[in-house]
Amino acid sequence: MNAETIRSSTLRAETPACQLLERQGLDYRGWWWVAPPRDTWLEAGQGTAVSADLGVRAAWLAAGRPAISPFAALPVQAGGAPPGAVLFWPKSHALGEWWLLWLCAILPEGTPLQLVGENQGGVRRVLKVLAALGLGCRKRDSARRCSLFETRLARVGIDPDAAWTTFETDPGDGPLTLTSHPGVFGHGKLDAGTLLLLETLPGVLPTGEGDVLDDVPGDVLDMGCGDGILAAWLARRGARVTAVDVNAFAVEASRRTLAANDLVGEALESDVYSALDGRTFAAIVSNPPFHQERAVDYGPAARLILEAPDHLEAGGQLIIVANAFLPYPDLLERAFGGFEILADDRRFRVYRAVRG
C-alpha cells in the first residue's frame, strides 16, 4: 500500500457520488477526476482534479494535490495522459456532454472513463448520450441514489468548441452580442434579474455627456460576470471594467463577449475577491449566485457583501440584484450600516450600499 493510499484510507467520502466510488476499491492513481465536487476523500487521495471551478482547484492545491483547468496547458499534451478518468455528471446536461466531447478529443482512444452522478440529477441520461456517440457503456454499480457507468473513450468527430454559442440581446440602449457556454449563468438568454439591474444602473452610476461613464473616478468591478453582459454594458459606456468569476467558462465567455463587441476589459478567475490583491473600485456591480449545483449556497454572496467595503473607494457603491426572498438586507446592514432598495418588481430587488 503506497503513501497516497494510506493517507486517503484515514478519510471517508462525504458526498454520495464519492461514497459510491470509494466502495469500488479501485486503484485510481494517476486518474483524472473531472468536474469533481468538494470532498476531502478526493482531495486527500489519488489522481488529479480537472475543474473549471477555481475554488475546487484551490482546495486541491492547498491539500498538496494536483489540479488543472481545461483552459490551461494540459499534461496530456506533453505525453502525460492519465490511465483513466472519472467524470462527475453535472446538473447541466449540456455541460456534461461538453466534458465528454472534450475528453474524447484530448485523451487517447481506449482510455477508461467512468461517469458518476446522482440519479435525481439525471446521470442515467448518459446511457443515451454515449449511445448517440457510438460509445459502448455498462452500468458498474449503484448506491446512495447514485449510479456509476463505465466506457472507453474514442474519437467521435464532434468538436467540443461547438458548444460555444452567441446571441444578440438589447438591454434597452442598443444591441450587444453575448457569447455563452453550457454551465454559465444565464446561458443563451438575458436573465430577468440582470435586466432589472441594467435598467436601474443609469440612474445611480455617474455619467458624462451622452450617457458615457467618462467621469467614473476609478475602476468598476463586475463580480460573478457570467457571460459578460454587465461588463460589456459598462465598458460600452467608457467604464474601466474588471470582470471576475470563479467559473473558468464564465471568464472565457466574458472575454469573448468583450471581444465580440470590440470592447476593452479585464476578465479574471477569482473566488470572490481572491485574485484582486487588495484593489479598490468606484463601484461593484453583481447578480450574485446562490446555488452550487442543486444546493442553496449563500457563502459567495455573503463574502461579496461583507468584504465589499474593503474593495471600495471612499464613497464607492455596491449595487446588486437578487431574488426578493434572499436574506441580503441583514448582510448589507452589517457590512455598510445601511442600504437602499433602488428597484423592486416583486421577483427581484436592486440594492445599493455606499462606503462612507
Pick the CATH number of 164-354 from 3.40.50.150, 1.10.510.10, 1.20.1250.20, 3.60.15.10: 3.40.50.150
pLDDT greater than 80 at residue 49: yes
- The CATH number of the domain covering residues in 3-161: 3.40.50.150
User: pLDDT tens for residues 142-177?
Assistant: 999 999 999 999 999 999 999 999 999 998 778 999
Question: Does the fold of domain 164-354 match that of domain 3-161?
Answer: yes
Which parts of 63-204 fold into alpha helices (H)? 93-106, 126-132, 192-200
Tell me whether strands 138-143 and 340-344 are parallel, antiparallel or unpaired: unpaired
Q: What is the pTM of this model?
A: 0.90
User: pLDDT tens for residues 50-73?
Assistant: 999 999 999 999 999 999 999 987
Domain ranges of the chain: 3-161, 164-354
Task: Check if the beta carbon of residue 354 is closer than 8 Å to that of residue 336.
Answer: yes
Of the pLDDT bands very low, low, confident and very high (cuts 50, 70, 90), residue 252 is very high
pLDDT greater than 60 at residue 233: yes
Cell numbers that stand for 318 in this block: 455596491
Average pLDDT of the residues in 321-343:
94
Of the pLDDT bands very low, low, confident and very high (cuts 50, 70, 90), residue 356 is confident
**What's the pLDDT score for residue 3?**
38
Tell me whether strands 240-245 and 219-223 are parallel, antiparallel or unpaired: parallel
User: pLDDT tens for residues 298-319?
Assistant: 688 999 999 999 999 999 999 9
User: pLDDT tens for residues 103-120?
Assistant: 999 999 999 999 999 999
